[in-house]
């Protein structure tokens, strides 16, 4: 097959890659090729929000990674779903829209990501968003990414918020606005009853452009170099190797697991690891694949004394009715991710900003759907947001077809245990409030017998699960930091013509779900790549308004 050339070759049609595909091709001149190993996202199972746990567990749409045995979690191998479909993980995730705390991005800048403070990123969050209830100083209303709120029809959603207020926490009308801390409605990337992935938001509207091409079932094996310059990509399609050239740049948007794998297979990474696999070293960057971070959580569950939970919707007859209503009208229980209320609190008073997140669900079940509900119940997904544990992604072999080895080292820092214990005790306090009195039955999990530090630790060791937010494995930072992989313009150190734009370049994990900040990263990176002036918010006037709003809640 003859070699073809494009201005830009993007690897991965996920949360970042779809944004880049749209933005880099919107001038009508630059030619762009997107390579995606997965295929179409047209399945009802993907587009129907309430079906989210099904594609997450299908080999067709999920890379199916698992971690190595986690030494601090009793040797358990943790499930690590990653999207393998147009839209990437935004096509199989929980559709929760959380930007992160403003302090997260100011921290990024302190960590070496110059130009990525909150004032620098807020305009790109706004640029991306089209909020159903309208924009304001913090929220966008003209972007491609639609966000909306659930109907909150189930009374348990409001009971959770009211119970938190009774426990002394503020109600927050918009955790993506002036401040994150507090309890209230949860944003979701659902539009007119459909999952609003980046494939729907960004890629599909651009696919008719003659200068954009999207190739599916394309398994990328390595970046092609001439000397130290990236000039193309080698991938397999239909059993054949194909080389495609990039006149300007190759951009890796393969995610926090596959991006470091591809960098290493291409000769960029820790010299010792590459040499052990017989890979020729192009750039010795010891940080590639290191600094892996994630959010760990557990499900605090209580039985419900009245039959008002989603357990009533679990029969085949009810599922059929829900499915029919969604297919015909894109409404009803099929049109929500069911995470309609939430909260952000501090694990202790001296924490700078909220470091515990809640997702509330009026059903007692596992997030991935593998453990079905057996009775009426409700739960809060709860976990610390800024773990000090660090893991890694490493090559299992030089064979591109072999999955990398992933170890998170969850709970390897003592502070993580202290924060998890706080999660149990603070959540138990919220669930004990009067607003839940009418519905609250026995505590299903952790269970009333789990009280001491040792008992809580044992519960966490056995039951904690990933929130599926792997990140930071090719972090952005200063060139003199040996663990940094890309500079503040997302350019890979030590080579030319190669950038990384996805959640792997986050210097540190943000407070909340990662789809929203990953989309923001891509919006900002697109302006950088195109040489456009950077947007920056003037927060001088907003700062006072923000102080007043914080005081009000």
By residue count, the chain amounts to 553
Report the alpha-carbon distance of residue 193 to residue 36 in Å, rounded: 26
Cβ-in-10-Å burial (0-12, 13-18, 19+) of 278 comes to: exposed
Answer whether 155's CB lies under 8 Å from 308's CB. yes
Q: Which of 252, 220, 201, 224 is nearest to 36 (CA)?
A: 220
Helix residue ranges, H only, 80-217: 102-110, 118-128, 155-166, 198, 204-206
Report the alpha-carbon distance of residue 445 to residue 441 in Å, rounded: 12
Answer whether 112's CB lies under 8 Å from 481's CB. yes
Segment (H or E) for 382: strand 377-384
Cis omega (within 30 of 0) for bond into 446: yes
* Helix 453-463 with 414-431: angle, nearest 10 deg: 100
- List the catalytic residue out of 191, 338, 392, 469: 469
Segment (H or E) for 276: helix 271-276
Backbone angles phi, psi at 206, to 5 degrees: -100, -10
Measure the CA angle with vertex 23, ends 17 and 28; round to 5°: 125
Q: Which residues of 243-253 are buried (b: 16+ CB within 10 A; e: fewer)?
A: ebebeebbbbb
469 is an active site residue: yes
Report the alpha-carbon distance of residue 456 to residue 476 in Å, rounded: 36
Report the alpha-carbon distance of residue 502 to residue 525 in Å, rounded: 10
Q: Which of 546, 432, 421 is nearest to 168 (CA)?
A: 432
Residues with catalytic roles = 469
């Amino acid at each position: 097959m003859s070699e073809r050339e494009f201005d830009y070759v993007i690897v991965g049609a996920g949360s970042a890659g779809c944004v880049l595909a749209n933005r880099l091709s919107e001038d009508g001149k630059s030619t762009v090729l997107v390579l995606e190993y997965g295929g179409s996202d047209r399945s009802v199972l993907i587009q129907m929000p309430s079906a989210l746990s099904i594609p997450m567990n299908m080999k067709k749409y999920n890379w199916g990674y698992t971690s190595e045995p986690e030494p601090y979690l009793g040797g358990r191998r943790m499930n690590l779903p990653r999207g393998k479909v147009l839209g990437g993980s935004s096509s199989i995730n929980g559709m929760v829209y959380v930007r992160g705390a403003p302090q997260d991005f100011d921290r990024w800048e302190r960590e070496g990501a110059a130009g990525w403070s909150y004032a620098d990123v807020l305009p790109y969050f706004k640029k991306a968003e089209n909020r159903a209830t309208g924009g304001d100083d913090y929220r966008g209303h003209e972007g491609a990414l639609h966000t909306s709120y659930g109907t909150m029809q189930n009374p348990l959603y409001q009971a959770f918020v009211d119970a938190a207020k009774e426990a002394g926490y503020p109600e927050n009308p918009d955790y993506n606005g002036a401040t994150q801390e507090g309890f209230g409605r949860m944003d979701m990337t659902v539009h007119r009853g459909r999952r609003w992935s980046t494939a729907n938001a960004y890629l599909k509207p651009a696919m008719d452009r003659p200068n954009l091409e999207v190739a599916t079932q394309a398994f990328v094996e390595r970046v092609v170099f001439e000397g130290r310059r990236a000039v193309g990509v080698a991938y397999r399609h239909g059993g054949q190797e194909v080389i495609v050239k990039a006149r300007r740049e190759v951009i890796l948007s393969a995610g926090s697991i596959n991006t470091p794998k591809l960098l290493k297979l291409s000769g960029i990474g820790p010299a010792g690891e590459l040499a052990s696999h017989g890979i020729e070293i192009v750039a010795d960057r010891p940080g590639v694949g290191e600094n892996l971070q994630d959010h760990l959580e557990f499900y605090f569950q209580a039985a419900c004394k009245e039959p008002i939970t989603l357990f009533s919707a679990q029969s085949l007859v009810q599922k059929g009715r829900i499915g029919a209503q969604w297919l015909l009208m894109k409404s009803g229980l099929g049109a929500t991710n069911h995470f309609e209320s939430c909260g952000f609190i501090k694990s202790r008073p001296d924490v700078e900003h909220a470091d515990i997140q809640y997702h509330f669900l009026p059903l007692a079940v596992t997030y991935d759907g593998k453990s079905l509900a057996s009775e009426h119940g409700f739960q809060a997904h709860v976990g610390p947001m800024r773990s000090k544990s660090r893991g890694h992604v490493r090559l299992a072999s030089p064979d591109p077809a072999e999955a990398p080895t992933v170890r998170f080292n969850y709970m390897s820092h003592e502070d993580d245990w202290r924060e998890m214990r706080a999660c149990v005790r603070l959540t138990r306090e919220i669930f004990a409030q009067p607003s839940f009195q009418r519905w609250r039955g026995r505590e299903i999990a952790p269970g009333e017998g789990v009280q001491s530090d040792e008992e809580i630790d044992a519960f966490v060791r056995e039951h904690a699960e990933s929130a599926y937010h792997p990140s930071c494995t090719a972090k952005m930072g200063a060139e003199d930091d040996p663990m940094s992989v890309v500079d503040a313009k997302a350019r890979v150190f030590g080579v030319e013509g190669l950038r990384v734009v996805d959640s792997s370049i986050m210097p540190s994990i943000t407070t909340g779900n990662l789809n929203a900040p990953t989309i923001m990263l891509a919006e900002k990176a697109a302006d950088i790549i195109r040489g456009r002036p950077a947007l920056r918010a003037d927060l001088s006037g907003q700062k006072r308004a923000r102080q007043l709003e914080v005081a009000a809640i």
